[in-house]
Structure 1
């Protein structure tokens, strides 16, 4: 659900290379049972059966979906597809996949890809948002609404005429439910209209404090995952010497006094992680004291267990003196020493262990061996029920505002 940037780039490249070849977009809208990909996964294909970006399965469906693209591009009408992965896939590729689920997809023409770039921009701003796909009774549908921001104060962009089938009053509680759980919602509005609402969950933001050798490995791995990465240090020479991937931000912060101000200017929500890599005791204490009271999802400190205990004790004392004692919940998000027990000792291995731990914490997973997991590997929160408080949060009936150019239907 976070691949809009790759889809948009691939679509733009395809338009430049083959401007006369139409594009199509497949969206996984429902899974019954187990599936390699989850609702919200997307696949970009073209009318000549090329797979351009994304994925909706472990590799067994993409070719067949691409082969159907010419049909929807020629008709200008979306097509709903259902694949029963529990049976052999002899009819598709001549081999048996023996997966455990049923995948439901919408394959629709994509005359204009720009809404995907805007969706990625919405995610990056970390202020809420959602993408709405309407499924109709004719076996068709369309991705037709992009919400930029919160339900009550955001901008509703209409991308397709199918958006007229639903109102903001009907969408508001669904977006609230999707935002609350972080998972997509599939909900029947009426007998002939079902909507698929996908929250635009913000990417993980990783703040690496300390520009030593390990910071490069942290940044490289995190950037590969699509995270927003910032490396911070008070030493300009170290910052200038870093070799970082494109898109990684670098910021100079004063050693002690400027830490508090710097923290307030950075993202600090539940999908934000801080990795303290400075090896300088007073600097780590300053950052711990500034970050632990804020709603970060994860704070990790590089170093030994003994050093971690000393840092925690010092930060706890400083917070108590300020009248903001450290709570059990705030202490729980502190991971010191940083990382999972993977056994590696090189900077790259340590970075891998730390980022794997961050990934587990963000997803509320235990980070154990999958072979020992008793519940399904890809277990997801079921489609949430709409609570009474969500149903009450409706908007005045109003047409969807559209600041993007209205895209053609075919």
Structure 2
């Protein structure tokens, strides 16, 4: 969702004329998209985003034209349960009741809440955005706690994932590229200045050179940070793991064989440092990955599952909801 938000905010800045923004406010039952999903349109086409599996976009586009014409926001409700889903689309399987807000955005006077969202994406701070429709026009404010007022709808936007890749070999390049494509904040650290260069990793937000002991303490790791060690250097991985044990990263992955990982863990345990289940090694989901690109896919999939509290198995075998109401 962060990548979608980033793209929508960029388009709002770039477009010259008025735009309409549709936001999925609330879902009763199941839905293809989660609350907080957005769709941006100029009235002629969808510029970015979606609200359903395709069953509602055409209808919302028509209502967006009305909003662009008179400037008045619309709150729309669509009941897609049972046979109604076949009426709106082609049986997309939404099976829920969706509340959608469509509002006009004018670049000359953009609403202040857009700046709050930009700050979240830039500074990696969580945002609790409360929206009230009590008087017809949406009114938004920041909330401190998790409980909005009775007439408000609360949207919680977490900080984007911050991924630090330790190791700037060629197999790190698809990992950096794919992570940035997800809208994550991506940093790269290598003890070899000749490898840690912007021209080799143009997608990275930050590139640092230096030994782990010099750099790891200043990375600013938190619960939404992931660190993947792929230095292919035993001593550098050992040095980094000594520092990462208590650094607060929400995910810690180590590239390499089970035997290599076991040796590292045993050596650190002898020093009194124990990781338990916190260290993911071999890193990544079991996708049968063999090349750098599919390995990167497996690693990012495991990080995503970890931060979402999922096991990372097949949805067919899971009883967890596909999209939380």
What is residue 278 of structure 2 aligned with on the other side? 333
2:234 is the counterpart of 1:281: yes
What is residue 224 of structure 1 aligned with on the other side? 181
Aligned residue among 286, 289, 296 for 2:249 = 296
Query: Where in structure 1 are there 5+ consecutive unaligned residues?
Result: 148-170, 178-184, 381-410
2:73 is the counterpart of 1:78: yes
User: Could you tell me how far 1:40 is from its partner in structure 2?
Assistant: 0.7
Q: Distance in 1 between matches of 2:87 and 2:288?
A: 45
TM norm structure 2: 0.90
TM norm structure 1: 0.73
Structure 1 segment 241-252 matched on structure 2, within 5 A: 243-252=200-209
Q: Distance in 1 between matches of 2:49 and 2:284?
A: 30
Structure 1 segment 4-153 matched on structure 2, within 5 A: 4-15=5-16, 19=17, 22-46=18-42, 48-86=43-81, 87-88=83-84, 92=88, 95-112=90-107, 113=110, 115=112, 116=114, 118-136=116-134, 140-145=136-141, 147=142
| Contact kept in structure 2, 1:216 and 1:242, CA below 8 Å | no
| Contact kept in structure 2, 1:298 and 1:361, CA below 8 Å | yes
Query: Where in structure 2 are there 5+ consecutive unaligned residues?
Result: none
Aligned residue among 237, 250, 264 for 2:194 = 237
Larger-gyration structure (1/2): 1
Give every structure 1 segment of 4 or more consecutive aligned residues whose post-TM-superposition deviation is greater than 6 Å. none
Query: Aligned-pair RMSD on alpha carbons?
Result: 2.2
Q: Distance in 2 between matches of 1:109 and 1:42?
A: 13
What is residue 379 of structure 1 aligned with on the other side? 324
Q: Distance in 1 between matches of 2:196 and 2:256?
A: 21
Return closer, same or farther for 1:242/1:60 CA change in 2, 3 Å cut-off: same
**3-state DSSP class of the match of 2:154?**
strand
User: Could you tell me how far 1:4 is from its partner in structure 2?
Assistant: 2.4
2:304 is the counterpart of 1:345: no
| Contact kept in structure 2, 1:123 and 1:200, CA below 8 Å | no
Q: Distance in 1 between matches of 2:127 and 2:34?
A: 19
| Contact kept in structure 2, 1:219 and 1:248, CA below 8 Å | no
What is residue 403 of structure 1 aligned with on the other side? none
